[in-house]
A and B are shown apart, each in its own frame.
Chain A
Amino acid sequence: MGYKFLEHTADVQAECRAVSFTGLLETAAQALYSIALKKQRKLTRKKHELFVSGAGREEVLVRWLQELVFLLETDGFAAVKFHWDGSHVEEQEHPATGEAKAVLTVHCTAEGYICRPEDRGEEIKGATYHGLTVEKKEQAYMARVIFDL
C-alpha cells in the first residue's frame, strides 16, 4: 500500500492505496506532504483536531486534503501521526432542497509540527474534483486525486 504519482501535463495526479478508508486518507496526506515539503520531520509537538464531512468518500478525501493544505498554509502545521476518533454516516437534509443525503464525517487528532520555511516544497493551491475516484477493490481502497500546483 502507499502512493505513486501519475502523469499530468500541468499539475500532479496521485494514486493512493490502503486497506481502510482512514488509511487511504493517511496515505493521501503522505502524498500531499511529499509535494508540499522538501523535508519531513518526525516531530509531534503540536496537535490539531480534524472533523471533515462530505457527501461520500470522494468528497471527504478532497475536504481532508484541503484541510491539511489550509493548516500548512496558515499555521505551517504538518501532520505526522493520525489518531482516528471515529467516523460515522448520517442522513442530513440539504438546506436548500430538503433532499436527504448520506453525509460521511471523519474525526481524528493529528499530531505533527510547525515546519520551517526551508522545509517547504511546492505550493499546493488545492485538491480538485477533476478525475477524482475512490474505489474499494477486494480488500483495498484506491483513490486518484489531482492537486493544482
Chain B
Amino acid sequence: MATVNLNRIDSTTWEIPKTGGMRVAGRIIANEELLKPILRDKAAEQVANVAWLPGIVGYSLAMPDAHWGYGFPIGGVAATDPGEGGVISPGGVGYDINCGCRVVTTALEYANVKPRLHDIVAGLYRDIPTGVGSQGAIPKLSETELKRVLNEGAHWAVSQGYGTPQDLEATEDHGRIETADASAVSARAIARGENQVGTLGSGNHFAEVGVVERIFDAEIAEAYGLREGFITVMVHTGSRGLGYQVCDDFIQTMLRAAQKYGIALPDRQLCCAPVDSPEGRHYVAAMSAAANYAWANRQIIMELARRSILHVLRIKPEELQARLLYDVCHNIAKMETHEVEGASRRLCVHRKGATRAFPGTRPEVVEKYRAVGQPVLIPGDMGTGSYVCAGTETALKKSFGSCCHGAGRMLSRKAAKKAKDPATLMHELKAKDIEVMARSKRTLTEESPEAYKDIDAVADVVAEAGIGRKVARIRPVGVIKG
C-alpha cells in the first residue's frame, strides 16, 4: 500500500484503520515528534502489512523507536492465535534471531576508575572478538558440542566456566528456550556459525562501559542493583551467522508454505505458516535453537568482559562484583498467554526490534524481580545514553507486554556517513569523555549519534504511554564496536 491513514487515539497512540486485506487495525505508539520519522519512511505501511497475517489478534503494533525494516517494521509487535489458524513468520523475528542485550552492574565507582578507562576499553577491545567474520574467543567447537550450545543455550556456556548459575537466573527464559531442537538447524547454518560463538560481530552490535547517571525510581533501581555513579557493562549482539542462515533457510520454506496454505500477503518477506503446521513447528525448533546460540554468545562475551576488567585493574572478583542485571532478547517469537477481549488466549507473540516488558505479576518474570517488574533494557546511541526501564501492567494491555528496543534509526547509513567524518566523530566523543575503539571507521560513522532518534524522547514516550517505567539512565563512557 502506498499511503496509510492515521487516527489519533490519544497523545501517544495512533491508529491505522483496518482496510483491504488487514485483519486488524494497526497502532503506533509515539508522540507527534516521534511519529514524523516513522511516517517519513515505510514503517507505517509495514505496520499495515503485518495486519494481514492470518490469526493476528488485537492490533499490529509499532513501538516508539519504530522504523522501516523488511517485512515487519523494526519495532514491530504482532500476536497470532494458533487456535484460529495463527501463523508464525520468520520475517517477524528477523535475520538476527535473539539479537538482544544484557547489562552488568559493578561495584566500581566511575570517579575511581576514570583514569583507567582507556585501559579498560583497550582490554575489552583486545579480549572480545569484534568485526565482520570475527572468531576465536573460544576453541572451534565440534558439531556435537555446537549442538549442545543450540539445545542448552547459556547453560552450556556456564557449564564451560563462562559465568555462574546466578547469571542464568537473570536471563530471559533462563537463557534457554525448551522448544529448541538442534536437528532442525541446517548444515549450512551450522557451517556459518560454528566459529562465531563468543564474538560480537559488527554493525550496531557493541560492548559498552557506562555510568549510572540518573535514578528515576529508587525502589526499583535498588532491586536491580543500580547505583548512581557506578559502572555498568552492556553487551548487544545476537546469533551471528547461524541465526542469519536459519532465517534464510526458513524464508524459503515459508514462501512455499504460504502458497500451500493459501495465505495472501502484501510482502513476501512476511511469508509464514500456521504455528501448528509441520513448517511452523520446524521453524519454532530451529529459531529456538538459534536463540539459545545467541544466549550462549552473550553469556560468553559477558564473561570475557568480566575477566578482562579483572585483569586490567588487577582486582579480585569480590572487588568488581560484576552481576548480571538482566538479559533481554528483542528479535523473537514466543508462545505467551494474554488476555484479549476478556478471554485468556495462548498466542504467538512476534517481537522484531521490541523488548518484552512484563510486570512482576507474570510467572515468566524471574523471582527476584516479581515485586518490581521485568527489567527492560533500551540501549541508545554511543554518544548519548541508554535507559533501564521496568515492565508494567499497562504494557500487557497495550502492547502484549512489549516495549521498544532502542532509540531507533533515523538516518540511513549513507546519510549518516555524509553527516559526519570519522575524525570529527571521534573528536566529539572524546570531548564527552567517551573512549571508542572500532574495527571499522565506516561502521563508526554509520552508527554515529546523529543516525538515531533522541533516546530521551523515546524513553519519555515509553513512560507517558505507560509501556515501561523509567528506572535509570546510563551514560556511555567507553564503547567497542566491530
Instruction: Determine whether the beta carbon of A126 is less than 8 Å from that of B247.
Output: yes
- Which of chain A's residues have a CB closer than 8 A to the CB of B443? 122
- Most chain B Cβ neighbours within 10 Å, of A59, A73, A122: A73
Q: Classify chain B's interface size.
A: 35 or more
> In residues 442-478 of chain B, which contact A (Cβ within 8 Å)?
442-443
B226 CB to closest chain A CB (Å) equals: 30
B294 CB to closest chain A CB (Å) equals: 13
Task: Indicate if B430 sits at the interface (CB-CB under 8 A).
Answer: no
Q: A122-B202, A129-B268 are in contact. Are A94 and B256 (CB under 8 A)?
A: yes
> In residues 88-118 of chain B, which contact A (Cβ within 8 Å)?
91, 94-96
- Which of chain A's residues have a CB closer than 8 A to the CB of B442? 38, 121-122
B354 CB to closest chain A CB (Å) equals: 14
> In residues 68-102 of chain A, which contact B (Cβ within 8 Å)?
70, 73-74, 76, 94, 96-97, 99
B66-97 near A? 1/0 per residue, CB < 8 Å: 01111100100000000000000001001110
Q: A96-B260, A122-B203, A149-B203 are in contact. Are A130 and B70 (CB under 8 A)?
A: yes
Q: List the interface of chain A (C-beta within 8 A of B).
A: 5, 7-12, 36, 38, 55, 59, 63, 66, 70, 73-74, 76, 94, 96-97, 99, 117, 120-123, 125-126, 128-132, 146, 148-149
What's the Cα separation between A109 and B21 when bound, in Å? 44
B126 CB to closest chain A CB (Å) equals: 16
Instruction: Determine whether the beta carbon of B74 is less than 8 Å from that of A7.
Output: no
B213-251 near A? 1/0 per residue, CB < 8 Å: 000000000000000000000000000010011011001
Instruction: Determine whether the beta carbon of B201 is less than 8 Å from that of A123.
Output: yes
Task: Indicate if B138 sits at the interface (CB-CB under 8 A).
Answer: no
B410 CB to closest chain A CB (Å) equals: 7
- Which of chain B's residues have a CB closer than 8 A to the CB of A94? 256, 259-260
Contact pick for A132, options B188, B191, B252, B268, CB 8 Å: B268
Contact pick for B260, options A36, A38, A59, A97, CB 8 Å: A97
Q: A74-B191, A129-B267, A130-B267 are in contact. Are A10 and B131 (CB under 8 A)?
A: no
Contact pick for B192, options A12, A70, A128, CB 8 Å: A70
Q: A10-B409, A12-B413, A120-B131 are in contact. Are A126 and B244 (CB under 8 A)?
A: yes
Contact pick for B96, options A66, A73, A125, CB 8 Å: A125
What's the Cα separation between A7 and B96 when bound, in Å? 22
Residue in chain A with minimal CB distance to B201: A123
Task: Indicate if B132 sits at the interface (CB-CB under 8 A).
Answer: yes
Q: A11-B70, A74-B191, A74-B192 are in contact. Are A117 and B133 (CB under 8 A)?
A: yes
17 further interface pairs, Cβ-Cβ under 8 Å (given A10-B69, A149-B413): A9-B41, A9-B43, A55-B255, A73-B241, A117-B133, A120-B132, A120-B133, A121-B132, A123-B132, A126-B248, A128-B269, A129-B255, A129-B268, A130-B91, A131-B267, A146-B70, A148-B70
